[in-house]
Amino acid sequence: LGTWNYVLVGAPVDASGTEKAFEPATGRVIATFTCLGEKEVSLDVENAKAAFKIWSKKCGRERCQILLEAARIIKERKDEIATVETINNGKSIFEARLDVDTCWQCLEYYAGLAASMAGEHIQLPEGSFGYTRREPLGVCVGIGAWNYPFQTACWKSAPALACGNAMIFKPSPFTPVSALLLAEIYTQAGMPPGLFNVVQGGAATGQFLCQHQDVAKVSFTGSVPTGMKIMEMSAKGIKPVTLELGGKSPLIIFSDCNMENAVKRALMANFLMQGQVCCNGTRVFVQKEIIDKFTKEVRVLGFVKLAKEQGASVLCGGDLYVPEDPKLKEGYYMTPCILTNCRDDMTCVREEIFGPVMSILSFDTEAEVLERANDTTFGLAAGVFTRDIQRAHRVAAELQAGTCYINNYNVSPVELPFGGYKKSGFGRENGRVTIEYYLQLKTVCVEMGNVESVF
C-alpha cells in the first residue's frame, strides 16, 4: 500500500501533531496522518453545514437513490475495502469481507426507510388540525473504535444521512484508512461535498468535535471510560448522544442444548475477530452435568479450527505467538485462550479483555445462573442455548442485555436494533428504531377559525 499522508481539510493551521497507523500483521507503518486541531474541525463543521442545507431539502426518495448507488459501489469495491481493512485492522480477509457485506446491506436498508419517513396528521376541534414533521438534527458527529472501522462508519452514517443529516466521522487513530474510502464512495454516489467528512485524530480532535456548538448530536462507539467523557461533553451542550460501549456478556449453556451448536457458537462468541468484538460472550456459563463434555469438545474444536487456519499444531494458552514467516515476525499475535474453573469474582470474568479469552463457569440452576449472568455493570449482549422453548424465552426476558441470542451468538443483521443496557450504553444502531435517534419531531398547530384574547 505504500505510505500515505492524509490532510483532509485544507492546510493544517493548528493541527496537534501526526499519528502513524500500523499493519498489525507485520508491524510496518502504513499511514501517517495529521491530527486535526480546533480550526480545521470548525472548517469541517462549516462545510458540513453547507452540505446539510442542500441535503436536508432533498426528499426521501432522492436520498434513497444516492444511498442505493453508494451501496452498489461498496459491493463493487468489496475486495478492495476488505483488503484495506485487513491490512490496517489485522482481521482475517474472510471476516473483513463479511463486514463489508453488512455495510452495503446497512446502506440499502436505510435507503429503503428514507422514502417512508413521515409525520402524522391530527384532527382538532372546529376544523383545526395539527401535523408533525420529522426533521433532521443537522451536523452529527460519529466517533469510531478500531475493531470494525468501515462497519462503524457505515452503521453510523447510513441512518444519519438517510434522515437528512450531515455527518463528520472520526475514526480511531489506529484504523484511520477505510473511512476515507467511504467518503470517496459517498461523493462518487452523488452526495454534496462535505456531507460526509472524515476527520483524523485522537482524543483532542474528538473533544473539539463534541464541544463544537454547531454539532447537533454525537454517536460514539468505544470504551466505557471514553463514553463517560463523551456524555459529559454532550451534556454541556444539551446534545443527544448515542453510546455504543463495551461489554462482558454471558452465554448460558443448559444441559439440554444441542451440544454441537453450543460449542460451535461458543467459539464464534469468543474468537471471532481475534476476540475483539464488543458483544462477545466471554462468560460462558455451562450447566454442571455437561461441563466436562463441553470443555472437552470446545478444546477439540478449537484445536481443529486453529490448526486449519495456521497449518500447525496449536496451543490453547493465551501465549504470545511468533509466526515462522519472517514478514510476520514484528506483528502482534497471541494464541486463543480457554480458561476453565473460573469464579465470578476473578478479573478475567469481570472485566472486558477485548482479546481471544473465553472463561468457562459452571452452574446448577436457572435461577442461579440468571442472577450470576446479570451480576455485571455491563449489559450489551447475552445468549442462551437450550432445547426448552419456554425456558429460552423466560431466560431471554430476564437477561439484562440489549441483545439476547437464543441458540445462536454474534450475528448482527441490519434489520435488528443493536445496543446496550446499563454501562454498555444507550441508543441503538441498526433496525428501524435508529432513525428515531437522528430525527427531531416538530409539531405544527393550525387554526382554521378566528382567535380570541383573554386580555
Ligand X SMILES: O=CCc1c[nH]cn1
Ligand Y SMILES: NC(=O)c1ccc[n+]([C@@H]2O[C@H](COP(=O)([O-])OP(=O)(O)OC[C@H]3O[C@@H](n4cnc5c(N)ncnc54)[C@H](O)[C@@H]3O)[C@@H](O)[C@H]2O)c1
**One residue of 412, 424, 430, 434 binding ligand X per CB under 6 A:** 412
Picked from ligand Y, ligand X, none, the partner binding residue 170 (CB below 5 to 8 A depending on kind) is ligand Y
Rule CB under 6 A: say whether 147 interacts with ligand X.
yes
6 burial level (CB within 10 Å; 0-12, 13-18, 19+): middle
DSSP string covering 68-107: HHHHHHHHHTHHHHHHHHHHHH---HHHHHHHHHHHHHHH
Picked from ligand X, ligand Y, none, the partner binding residue 379 (CB below 5 to 8 A depending on kind) is none
Minimum CB distance to ligand Y smaller for 137 or for 215: 215
User: Is 120 in the active site?
Assistant: no
Rule CB under 6 A: say whether 277 interacts with ligand X.
yes
Q: How many Å apart are CA 447 and CA 242, to the nearest integer?
A: 37
Nearest residue by C-beta to ligand Y? 206
Containing 358, the helix (H) or strand (E) segment is strand 357-363
Minimum CB distance to ligand X smaller for 161 or for 380: 380
Picked from ligand Y, ligand X, none, the partner binding residue 226 (CB below 5 to 8 A depending on kind) is ligand Y
Q: CA-CA distances (angstroms) from residue 34 to 11, 37, 88, 121, 291? A: 10, 9, 17, 50, 52
Residue 246 Cβ, how far from ligand X at the closest point, in Å? 9
> Angle at CA 207, nearest 5°, toward 231 and 427?
30
- Residues contributing to the site for ligand Y (CB under 6 A): 143-148, 170, 172-173, 202-203, 206-207, 210, 221-223, 226, 229-230, 244-247, 278, 352, 354, 380, 420, 425
Which residues inside 149-208 make contact with ligand X, applying CB under 6 A?
A: 151
Picked from ligand X, ligand Y, none, the partner binding residue 402 (CB below 5 to 8 A depending on kind) is none
Q: How many Å apart are CA 358 and CA 61, to the nearest integer?
A: 46
Q: How far is CA 9 from the centre of its chain?
A: 26
Minimum CB distance to ligand X smaller for 157 or for 412: 412
Rule CB under 6 A: say whether 243 interacts with ligand X.
no
Question: Looking at 23, 69, 95, 244, which residue is catalytic?
Answer: 244
Picked from ligand Y, ligand X, none, the partner binding residue 412 (CB below 5 to 8 A depending on kind) is ligand X
Three-state DSSP class for 390?
Answer: helix
Rule CB under 6 A: say whether 45 interacts with ligand X.
no
Q: How many Å apart are CA 254 and CA 290, to the nearest integer?
A: 8
Residue 300 Cβ, how far from ligand X at the closest point, in Å? 26
Judge whether 171 and 201 are in contact, CB under 8 Å.
Answer: no
* Stretch of residues binding ligand X (CB under 6 A), selected from 18-26, 77-85, 224-232, 277-285: 277-285
Minimum CB distance to ligand Y smaller for 186 or for 354: 354
Three-state DSSP class for 166?
Answer: strand
Residue 131 Cβ, how far from ligand Y at the closest point, in Å? 35
Rule CB under 6 A: say whether 148 interacts with ligand X.
yes
Cell numbers that stand for 235 in this block = 451534556
Rule CB under 6 A: say whether 278 interacts with ligand X.
yes
Minimum CB distance to ligand Y smaller for 170 or for 422: 170
Closest Cα partner for 117 from 50, 79, 163, 72? 163
Look up cell 480545521; give the residue: 40
Residue 131 Cβ, how far from ligand X at the closest point, in Å? 37
* Stretch of residues binding ligand X (CB under 6 A), selected from 38-46, 275-283, 430-438, 447-455: 275-283
Binding residues for ligand X, rule CB under 6 A, total 7
Judge whether 155 and 127 are in contact, CB under 8 Å.
Answer: no
Side-chain half-sphere CA neighbours of 222 within 13 A: 24
Minimum CB distance to ligand Y smaller for 86 or for 249: 249
Judge whether 247 and 381 are in contact, CB under 8 Å.
Answer: yes
Minimum CB distance to ligand X smaller for 196 or for 354: 354
Closest Cα partner for 107 from 163, 59, 155, 145? 155
* Stretch of residues binding ligand X (CB under 6 A), selected from 18-26, 143-151, 352-360, 394-402: 143-151
Residue 351 Cβ, how far from ligand Y at the closest point, in Å? 10
Judge whether 209 and 197 are in contact, CB under 8 Å.
Answer: no
Supply the residues annotated as catalytic: 244
| Contact residues: ligand X, CB under 6 A | 147-148, 151, 277-279, 412
